[in-house]
Chains A and B, each alone.
Chain A
Amino acid sequence: MTGPSDKGASLRVVDVAVEFSGLRALDGVSLTLSPGEIVGLIGPNGSGKTTLINAITGQVPLAGGQVVLGDRPLSGLAPRDIALLGLSRSFQIVRLFNNMTVIENVEAGALAHGHGLRKARAKAEALLDEFGLSARADDLGGNLSYGDKRRVEIARALASDPAFLMLDEPAAGMNEAETETLLHKLSALPASRGLGLLIIDHDMGLIMRLCDRLHVLAFGRTIAEGKAADIRKDPAVIQAYLGSEAGIGAAHA
């Protein structure tokens, strides 16, 4: 179960359904994420975006369909095993190890994947440097600003060298400048690390600039997918967000 993921394989979500006590939170959603690409997952609040990531990472059971990595079905595997296959994620509400230092947080991500202490420390140092967090390396996770916590969480997720990274609102709580810096960092990841990136965010400006493709959910169903420029003009998307004819560029839902 701890074997390395097939590099180059795609992550496919096929006709996935998720139910919470009878309520269909996801219904027939299909999505493919390939290494090297950035896909944006958008939709109004409650449309099932986070649930989809939870379904992929094994945190909620599937009521139908399957999630496949290369030709390996992930459905039914424990979250830990899915993580070890190279699927890493961040959370909408940051979950740092608050009473551990920043560098230990990132180290834990590398150690969990079987790296030795020395290697884990080197990796953590490099990642903190990359995310501009070196000065905070010895601060406790709980003492950071919200924006810094998010960056530590992303660094921790990257410490395991994931094949796919799923970020749930990575820019939430960041100011304009921090968001801009993050955007540059994230946009470089697929090329520099060969990973596939799935991003949920409500900041349409960020999503439009960052993503190659967008996938739009509403009420648990896919209502549109395709290039960012096309999605922007899609009437179904505009209606899902605003219920009117107004432009989606203004919709910071």
Chain B
Amino acid sequence: MTFALQFTIDVLSLGGAYALMALGLVIVYGILKLVNFAYGELIMVTGYTLFLMGGSGLPWLVMAAVAVAMAVVTGVLTDYIAFRPVRAKSITAVLITSFAFSTLLQNAALLFISPRPRNVPLPALFSQTVEIAGVITPVRNLVTIAAAVVLLAVFAWAMRRTVLGIAMRAAATNFTMARMLGIPANLIISSAFAISGLLAGVVGILWIGRIGSVVPGIGSEPLLVAFIATVIGGMRSLEGAVLGGFLLALIDTSLNYLLSQELLKFRDAFTFGLVILILLWRPEGLLKGPATGQRT
């Protein structure tokens, strides 16, 4: 029983983080049918903003809010710098510009800050543990679960019951038709990047909260996780991304418990092996969105 609870908390907290990461990636992909390879750097920006504000003496929540806001700004900048100028011209060009923007941000961090890890200010809460029904678990895991539940619920509600949400879903289903009805394309795309930045910012704080420090390459793992989660969940649907995130966390956590010490360092190989099996079984991902995969 204790083990079951421990396992559930582990899966839900890791899965919550993965699901938010995946959602942030797929919200842009859904509309543009393009992967934003500079997505991981939104998490990096969040981390360095926290680091830079470390000595400011501001309340931590204010620092966290500024860090998330910086991720939102960087998300929108990604659209203006890497996507908008070449979006209509060529998919290849956008792939390259988004890689370039990612590299640029990483190198800026290398050059102006440091290649070595930098500690970020975190509230004491993040290092505390709590005992629930005999299970000792870090409080940050519970914070992650709570943040994921709240954000996913707000997100689900907003996509159904706000003007922007309905317009974004219309644009994700058939972008051409949405524009033809009069939905403003550029505004929708910038909003998608802003939401992507918001999710990356929140998940960045939770993610960095686990590690305690930030390095220039911190975004690569979240990008990979988000990408795999969306692929197994189904690139075309937001629900798929969330499902994929939790499934990936289930796989990772199960392997953590099942594999012996020597095998544990090959955990990713086992994870990706399972991912391949899932894709052989459902090549389009678990949830098939009815939208076409073509750029419209």
* Residue positions of A touching B, CB distance < 8 A: 57, 59, 78-80, 83-84, 89, 95, 97-100, 104-105, 107-109, 111-113, 116-117, 120, 140, 142, 156, 160
CB pair B163–A117 under 8 Å, yes or no, is: yes
Q: Does B89 contact A (CB under 8 A)?
A: no
Which residues of chain A come closer than 8 Å to B178, judged between CB atoms?
97, 108, 112
CB pair B290–A99 under 8 Å, yes or no, is: yes
Find B167's partner among A95, A108, A116, A140 (CB 8 Å cutoff): A108
CB pair B182–A97 under 8 Å, yes or no, is: no
CB pair B185–A112 under 8 Å, yes or no, is: no
Q: Whole-angstrom distance between the alpha carbons of A109 and B170 in the complex?
A: 10
| Given A112-B178, A142-B290, 20 further pairs, Cβ under 8 A | A57-B180, A59-B180, A78-B179, A80-B179, A80-B185, A89-B180, A95-B174, A97-B174, A100-B173, A104-B160, A105-B170, A108-B178, A111-B166, A111-B167, A112-B181, A117-B161, A117-B162, A117-B163, A140-B290, A156-B181
Find A108's partner among B162, B166, B237, B289 (CB 8 Å cutoff): B166
Q: How many A-B residue pairs have CB under 8 A?
A: 71
Q: Does B177 contact A (CB under 8 A)?
A: yes
Which residues of chain A come closer than 8 Å to B184, judged between CB atoms?
80
Find A79's partner among B179, B289, B291 (CB 8 Å cutoff): B179
CB pair A97–B167 under 8 Å, yes or no, is: no
Once A83-B181, A112-B178, A160-B182 are accepted as A-B contacts, the answer to whether A99 and B237 lie under 8 Å apart by CB is yes
Q: Does B255 contact A (CB under 8 A)?
A: no
CB pair B290–A113 under 8 Å, yes or no, is: no
The 9 A-B residue pairs whose C-beta atoms are closest, nearest first, are A112-B182, A97-B173, A98-B290, A112-B181, A83-B182, A108-B170, A95-B177, A99-B290, A112-B183
Contact with A along B230-241 (1 / 0, CB 8 A): 000000010000
Which residues of chain A come closer than 8 Å to B237, judged between CB atoms?
99
Please name the residue on chain B nearest to A143 by beta carbon: B290
Which residues of chain B come closer than 8 Å to A57, judged between CB atoms?
180
Please name the residue on chain A nearest to B176 by beta carbon: A95
Q: Whole-angstrom distance between the alpha carbons of A109 and B178 in the complex?
A: 8
Q: Whole-angstrom distance between the alpha carbons of A216 and B290 in the complex?
A: 38
Tell me the chain B residues, 145-202 only, with Cβ under 8 Å from chain A. 160-163, 166-167, 169-170, 173-174, 176-185
Find B169's partner among A59, A97, A113 (CB 8 Å cutoff): A97
CB pair A113–B163 under 8 Å, yes or no, is: no
Could you pull out 11 A-B pairs where Cβ atoms are within 8 angstroms? Answer: A80-B182, A80-B185, A89-B180, A95-B174, A97-B170, A97-B173, A112-B167, A117-B161, A117-B162, A117-B163, A120-B163
Q: Whole-angstrom distance between the alpha carbons of A181 and B178 in the complex?
A: 28
Which residues of chain A come closer than 8 Å to B183, judged between CB atoms?
80, 108, 111-112
Once A97-B174, A99-B289, A99-B291 are accepted as A-B contacts, the answer to whether A83 and B169 lie under 8 Å apart by CB is no
Which residues of chain B come closer than 8 Å to A84, judged between CB atoms?
182
Which residues of chain A come closer than 8 Å to B170, judged between CB atoms?
97, 100, 104-105, 108
**What is the distance, in angstroms, from B173's C-beta to the closest C-beta of chain A?**
4
CB pair B181–A108 under 8 Å, yes or no, is: yes
**What is the distance, in angstroms, from B140's C-beta to the closest C-beta of chain A?**
35
**What is the distance, in angstroms, from A105's C-beta to the closest C-beta of chain B?**
8
**What is the distance, in angstroms, from B31's C-beta to the closest C-beta of chain A?**
13
Please name the residue on chain A nearest to B183 by beta carbon: A112
Q: Whole-angstrom distance between the alpha carbons of A104 and B167 in the complex?
A: 10
